[in-house]
């Protein structure tokens, strides 16, 4: 499960890099609005999701140890 969190985090970093490249060419109020309305929320949600996945991974590891 931790691999999924790492993958999600990596893909999000790639998206952020592509967005930074896009902003070089798209520099109007709509670009700012798009970043604030969609990307900021997406990145915040991904951060929270990665944290939850890591917590679930720890819980699953504990359950496995307890069942052995």
SS3 content of the chain, % helix, strand, coil (to 5): 95, 0, 5
For the chain, 68 residues long, the average pLDDT of each consecutive 10-residue run is 88 96 95 96 95 94 94
* pLDDT at 12 (0 to 100): 96
pTM value is: 0.79
Cβ atoms of 49 and 7 within 8 Å: the answer is no
Cβ atoms of 57 and 6 within 8 Å: the answer is no
* pLDDT at 2 (0 to 100): 80
């Amino acid at each position: 499960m931790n691999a999924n969190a790492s993958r999600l985090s990596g893909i999000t970093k790639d998206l952020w890099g592509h967005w930074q490249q896009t902003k070089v060419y798209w520099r109007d109020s709509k670009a700012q609005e798009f970043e604030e309305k969609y990307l900021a929320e997406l990145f915040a949600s991904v951060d929270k999701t990665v944290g939850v996945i890591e917590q679930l991974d720890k819980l699953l590891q504990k359950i496995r140890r307890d069942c052995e």
